[in-house]
Amino acid sequence: MTDDRGDHQGRDPACDLCTAARITPWYHEDECCWVAECEICAVPMVVWRRHHPAPPPTVRDHLHAVLGQVVRDRFGGGFWIDDRMRNIPGHYHAHARPQGRFMGPWPRSR
C-alpha cells in the first residue's frame, strides 16, 4: 500500500530516480521528495519519491513549493518550473530553470 505523498513503496528498481543515487549535490529531502542538482542540465530538480508520472494536485503543489524554496534560499533570482519529463517520463520530477534560460549552471551566489 502507498499513500500520495510517497511512503518508500511503489518504486521501480530499474528507475534512476527511484534509485536516488547521490551523484550530484542534494539540497533537500523529506518523506515526500528530494531536491538535487540535475546531472544533465545542472539546475535544481525535485523528485517525487513515488514512482508515478502524475501526482495529485496537492502533492504537485508541495513539490513545486519545496523546489521554489530551495531555489530562493540557495540561488536567488528568477526561475520557472519545467515539469515536462523528457528523459524519465514515468517518474514525476520538475526542474527549476533560471529565468530566460533552459540549463544551468546557476550562479553560486549564496
pLDDT tens-place string over residues 50-65: 999 999 999 999 999 9
Residue 105 confidence (pLDDT) above 70:
no
Domain ranges (residues) in the chain: 16-98
In this predicted structure, what is the pLDDT of residue 107?
61
Record the pTM: 0.85
Mean local confidence (pLDDT), 25-41: 95
Distances (CA, A) of 87 to 3, 17, 39: 25, 11, 12
Residue 44 confidence (pLDDT) above 80:
yes
Q: What is the largest CA-CA distance in the chain?
A: 42
Q: How far apart are CA 43 and CA 91, in angstroms?
A: 18
Q: Which residues contact 89 (CB under 8 A, 6 or more apart)?
A: 53
Q: How far apart are CA 83 and CA 46, in angstroms?
A: 9
Answer whether CATH 3.30.1380.10 is correct for domain 16-98.
no
